Amino acid sequence: MWFDSHCHISDIEDEAELGSVVKRAHEAGVHDMVVLGTDAATSRRAAAITHLEGVWAGAAVHPTSAKGWEDAWAEEIDVLLGEPRVVAVGETGIDLYWDRSYLPDQEAAFRAHIALAKKRDKALVIHTRDSVDETLAILEAEAPPARMVFHCWSGDRTQMQRAVDLGSYISFAGNVSYKSAGDLREAARSAPADRLLVETDSPYLAPVPKRGTENEPAFVAFVGAVVAEARGESALEVAGTTTANARRLFGLER
């Protein structure tokens, strides 16, 4: 049984196709998935598809959508966080890969999302790209929420220890399977078992052997298999560990 802790299937507009994606996930042993928003519109869509079995949602403004940030945007997200199957504030964070010119807007947005996670007692789903230190510094300054995860982990061992010391989970995506990603496999090996998660980040970052195709939640088992090999564990062990961790992170223990 697998849990895809981060995906973007709300981008699929055709309802039949969306249903097929969810069905394939269930058939592949993926019983739960969290669909993350990247702005108000995609967050509303993510919340709207939680009627599908095993689908949960997150709501937020992604850092690359935070240019011109206004406090009213947080109010829109806050409304969605009141829905019972919206279990996360995300994805949010800092992205310095594409454009550094509006970093102050990103920082303001991230702080607002941290505050929402605390207010609503929801998991905070954190995006970083070329920005792990900057993101950690904000979390350390603001005091983090009780539950959070760095999705698609990209940091080094020292940064991981800082994240774990703050109480964060660490999630690995399909790029952990890429030939050049030995550093990520080493990170997966060293991540604490009780903080480990797997994800697809679909439709992006399709794992080997599906690389070059559009990613989907059914493929999270391929991510888990690579993580298991790196850790010297069975896929069954990693499936059980990461599913239990995801349920604890998102408040879904049952």
Instruction: Please report, for the domain that includes residue 63, its CATH number.
Output: 3.20.20.140
**pLDDT at residue 197 in the model:** 98
**Measuring CA to CA, how many Å separate 120 from each of 80, 82, 89, 224?**
11, 8, 9, 30
Cα(51)–Cα(152) distance, rounded to whole angstroms? 26
> Residue 254's pLDDT band (boundaries 50, 70, 90)?
low
pLDDT at 253: 82
Residue 186 is assigned to a structural domain of this protein: yes
Residues 212-228 have a mean pLDDT of: 98
Residue 38, pLDDT score = 98
Residue 21 lies in a domain: no
6 domain residue, yes or no: no
pLDDT in tens, 122-143: 999 999 999 999 999 999 999 9
Say if 45 falls within a structural domain.
yes
Q: Average per-residue pLDDT in the chain?
A: 97
As a whole number of angstroms, the distance between CA 27 and CA 7 comes to 17
HSE, side-chain direction, 13 A CA sphere, residue 53:
11
State percent of the chain over pLDDT 90. 99
Residue 3 lies in a domain: no
Whether residue 218 is contained in a domain is answered as yes
- Neighbouring C-beta atoms of residue 156, cutoff 10 Å: 12
Number of domains forming the structure of the chain = 1
Confidence category of residue 100, pLDDT binned at 50, 70, 90: very high
- Give a yes or no: residue 60 inside a domain: yes
Does 5 fall in a domain? no
* The amino acid at 31: H
- Residue 30 parent element (H or E): strand 30-36
In terms of residue numbers, what domain contains 89?
A: 31-249
**pLDDT for the residue 119:** 98
